């Protein structure tokens, strides 16, 4: 299983499944590491810090 945030493998028992609410993506389940991990470059914000706001 791979983390949807950092795209790295998650050892068994160290995953957390999170249900996405709201209008965009409602009902989607994402799988993450239990401890905060860095975001992969593919999931990074599309704009440099401070731009696009």
SS3 52: coil
For residue 25, what pLDDT is reported?
74
Cα–Cα distance for residue pair 8/48, rounded to 1 Å: 24
For residue 10, what pLDDT is reported?
96
For residue 50, what pLDDT is reported?
57
The token pair at 32 is: 């993450």
Question: What's CA 45's distance to the chain center, in Å?
Answer: 12
Q: Convert the pLDDT of each residue in 1-53 to its tens digit.
A: 999 999 999 999 999 999 988 777 778 899 999 998 888 877 666 666 555 54
For residue 35, what pLDDT is reported?
92
Contact by Cβ (8 Å): 53, 19: no
For the chain, helix, strand, coil in percent to 5 are 5, 25, 70
């Amino acid at each position: 299983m791979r983390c949807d945030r950092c795209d790295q493998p998650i050892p068994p028992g160290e995953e957390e499944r999170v249900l996405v609410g709201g209008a965009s993506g409602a009902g989607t389940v994402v799988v993450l590491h239990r401890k905060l991990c860095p975001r992969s470059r593919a999931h990074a914000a599309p704009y440099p810090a401070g731009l696009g706001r």
